[in-house]
Structure 1
Amino acid sequence: MAAAINAPTPEIGTTNQTDDEHDNKFIFCKIVKGEMGTELLHDGSLLSDETVSCFRYIHPGAPHHYLVVPRKHSFVQILFLWFLVEKLVKIGKEILQKNNVTDLNGVRFGFHWPSFCSVTHPHLHVLAPVSQMDFMSRVVYRLNLHWFITLLQKRNSMS
């Protein structure tokens, strides 16, 4: 169902669509604009940081499972914009600390590679503690898989 809601539309520039019209078609864009009734744990529009927002994942795989997303869908090249990735991680860590998760060894940060994403808006999964992930989440968010890449794997592949 999520894939149908977030089915890609023609690329910006190929029609008369503006960025806002494009962003209005995607679920995460609607969430960060406050149109879905989702609690924003970090709302960039209210803080000095206007680039990212954070909210709880609707199908949590661990007691703490958050999605940290750029506020603008147009950040299509997120995996190549390391400064933005670092900002997503920073906000994820802040949200974990606000929820009394201080041991970052039990945390998994990662992305689904394109073609394995049900939502095309770039987003970072933040899961903690890994030891409490359910069986399916251990499969979906497992290390060293071709459909889910952790930040440690990404750094190693870039060096």
Structure 2
Amino acid sequence: MAAVLSGPAAFAESGSPAPAATPGPAGRVSETATPTASGRESEEPAPSPAGGGSDAATAALALVPAGGGLVKKCIFCKIGNKEESVDLLHWDEQFACFRDIRPGAPHHYLVVPRKHIVNCKSLKKEHISIVQKMVNIGESVLQQNGVCDLADVRLGFHWPPFCTITHLHLHVLAPASQMGFISRMVYRSNSYWFITVEQLIEKLKSLPEDCSGGS
């Protein structure tokens, strides 16, 4: 979760180097926590109905921008590689899902690609299937945890430079109607700092095709 506790103005401070995150109580992870290195491998969750990723997402992940491998100091790379003791709600060869340590709603999960992608601004038109797969995983995890009303869900990304962790991650919050005042500001649709899945996909659709197969 982005470090905003007093409205949009506080986002201006995010130009400083982004802090890493760390597993917290109950295996939750937040964007604003401090890193640790337990080195313990978390128990693999039961297979998710979302599966291991569609063929389109698999192909798109091969086209991520340069530097799309594992970054040793990236907490989300460590979690995706099972190098941190975190309660994984979903894990497969391409994606991982876990709880945010500072939930903005009764259910607040983060979905990340295991391959390092900097942020949503680094995505291109051919990466839309990655976003769609992350949404599928997030909705599947919500349903596994008793959330049936997928219309009352907030799905989106913090827009650079308002990201405190430079690894692509989807915020999955439900019920959106139960978000508090601060959470409604931090995850506000149509804002300078937060972009919904629908908005991101529309942005990506408007981009030209990258014939080079990635930068």
TM-score interval for Structure 1 and Structure 2 normalised by the shorter chain: 0.7 to 0.9
CA contact (8 A) 1:79 1:85 kept: no
Deviation at 1:19, TM superposition (A): 3.8
What is the match of residue 77 of structure 2? 29
Identity %: 53
CA contact (8 A) 1:111 1:148 kept: yes
Among candidates 198, 203, 207, match of residue 152 of structure 1: 198
What is the match of residue 107 of structure 1? 153
Change (3 A) 1:79 1:131: farther
Among candidates 51, 69, 76, match of residue 94 of structure 2: 51
Structure 1: which 5+ runs fail to align?
7-11, 45-49
Change (3 A) 1:91 1:139: same
Change (3 A) 1:152 1:4: closer
What is the match of residue 72 of structure 1? 115
Q: State the Cα deviation string for residues 99-136 of structure 1 (Å, max 9, x = none).
A: 11111110010011111000000000000001111221
Give yes or no for the alignment of 1:4 onto 2:51.
Answer: no
What is the match of residue 85 of structure 1? 131
Deviation at 1:74, TM superposition (A): 4.1
Which amino acid in structure 1 is aligned with residue 111 of structure 2? V
Change (3 A) 1:143 1:74: closer
Which amino acid in structure 1 is aligned with residue 95 of structure 2? V
CA contact (8 A) 1:78 1:85 kept: no
User: Which TM-score applies when normalising by structure 1?
Assistant: 0.80
Q: What SS does structure 2 have at the residue aligned with 1:153?
A: helix
CA contact (8 A) 2:154 2:172 kept: yes
Length, aligned pairs only = 143
Q: State the Cα deviation string for residues 11-55 of structure 1 (Å, max 9, x = none).
A: x77xxxx944xx1110111112222211110011xxxxx211100
Structure richer in strand, relative to its length: 1
1:129-140 alignment, distance < 5 Å: 129-140=175-186
Structure 2: which 5+ runs fail to align?
4-16, 22-65, 207-215
Structure richer in helix, relative to its length: 1
Segment of structure 1 superposing worse, 50-59 or 73-82:
73-82
RMSD across aligned positions (CA): 2.4
Among candidates 54, 78, 96, match of residue 142 of structure 2: 96
User: Which TM-score applies when normalising by structure 2?
Assistant: 0.60
Higher relative contact order (CA 8 A, sep 6+): 2
Change (3 A) 1:75 1:148: closer
Among candidates 174, 182, 189, match of residue 128 of structure 1: 174
